[in-house]
Amino acid sequence: MVYGDIGGTKTLLQIAELRDGEMRVHFTQRYDSRAYTTFSDLLRNFLNRNEITKTISHPVAACFAVAGSVVAQQSKLTNLPWVIDSADITAEFSIPRVKLINDFEAAALAIEILLPGDLVTLQAGKAHVQETRVVLGAGTGLGVAWLTWQGGRYIPISTEAGHMDFAPNCNLQIRLFEALQNKFGHVSVERLLSGPGLTNIFNFLQMNSAASSNRAQINLDEDSGAAITELALIDKHPVAISSLDVFAEIYGAYAGNLALAGLCRNGVYIAGGIAPKIINILSAGGFMRAFRDKGRFSPMMNKIPVHVITNPDVCLLGAERQARNLGRL
């Protein structure tokens, strides 16, 4: 069977065989998503590779975790002009069983099979067994999924909560909100918590510090989160450092809002490509202070476990778990 994590920046595909209840991986390939016009072009390249055609039979099932909402087994990726349809994949590639799931639904599916080394704990708290969990993460976009206990197991619920309104909570964030509102109109949380969002924060702070600094202005691409992180952590660029601090505070406040909304007393899990790279920033205090700062409910927030997922393949693990279920049908 074949499964993968389909993102706006990268796509990771894997093909494996289910034998005696165990998945035996045969081949893994990472792709630059933007290098392909359609997902079908990318999948065709993968399935036609010699490493696959010479060593494994044609897949009987497939599951793809996609960075976008899935409706009636169709998805248009939020940050890529791809439209993916499970029925089209079945017809084009003769794969009998194909399922699309949201990428953060996949991350949620993987929570229970993560190893201790896959997590960094920001707050141990006190976990309440069978209570709600939430998984969120900033990368090319911002994903969120809930986990609710039903029928003796956790059921993932995909969302588009990354497109909720951004709620600024200090004078600096209010000015940042106003600048983004003038640029975009509607200001979702994803406009701040994503690679492009970190770029928005940096550009705003750089513009506002220009009058009091002799430092040359840096022109960045729309999604320069990785470059800003490097500027902060390696070059010690003051605006980049401030950008990560603001990013962490907004991230913590938003994670706390989600924890309140779902009463997530069995854990908040931070996934996505950015968090593992800025563990020191998230651990410095600003993230958790903003997370806990919920007025009368702050004491409860102190008790909610908060973890960063450091395994970069968490969405792939969830897609593999779903593919395994399809393969047993």
pLDDT at 213: 61
pLDDT at 294: 97
Within this chain, do residues 318 and 216 fall inside the same structural domain, yes or no? no
Assigned token pair, 65: 């975790």
pLDDT at 212: 54
- pLDDT, tens digit, for every residue of 16-48? 988 877 788 889 999 999 999 999 999 999 999
Within this chain, do residues 6 and 32 fall inside the same structural domain, yes or no? yes
Within this chain, do residues 196 and 52 fall inside the same structural domain, yes or no? no
CA distance 258 to 63: 27
Range of the domain at 183: 115-310
CA distance 124 to 127: 8
Number of domains in the chain: 2
Q: Which helix (H) or strand (E) holds 307?
A: strand 306-309
Within this chain, do residues 145 and 99 fall inside the same structural domain, yes or no? no
CA distance 180 to 73: 34
Within this chain, do residues 280 and 189 fall inside the same structural domain, yes or no? yes
Within this chain, do residues 31 and 168 fall inside the same structural domain, yes or no? no
Note the Cα 195 to chain centre separation in Å.
Answer: 11
Is the confidence at residue 327, as pLDDT, over 80? Answer: no
Within this chain, do residues 74 and 178 fall inside the same structural domain, yes or no? no
pLDDT at 197: 97
| Long-range contact set of residues 31-37: C-beta below 8 Å, sequence gap at least 24 | 33/6, 33/7, 33/8, 33/9, 33/80, 33/82, 34/8, 34/9, 34/80
Within this chain, do residues 80 and 121 fall inside the same structural domain, yes or no? no
pLDDT at 210: 61
pLDDT at 316: 95
pLDDT at 214: 65
Q: What is the average pLDDT across 160-166?
A: 95
Within this chain, do residues 46 and 191 fall inside the same structural domain, yes or no? no
This prediction has a pTM of: 0.91
Within this chain, do residues 122 and 88 fall inside the same structural domain, yes or no? no
Q: Where does the pLDDT of residue 104 fall: very low under 50, low under 70, confident under 90, or very high at 90 and above?
A: very high
Is the confidence at residue 111, as pLDDT, over 70? Answer: yes
pLDDT at 9: 85
- pLDDT, tens digit, for every residue of 228-271? 999 999 999 999 999 999 999 999 999 999 999 999 999 999 99
Within this chain, do residues 137 and 261 fall inside the same structural domain, yes or no? yes
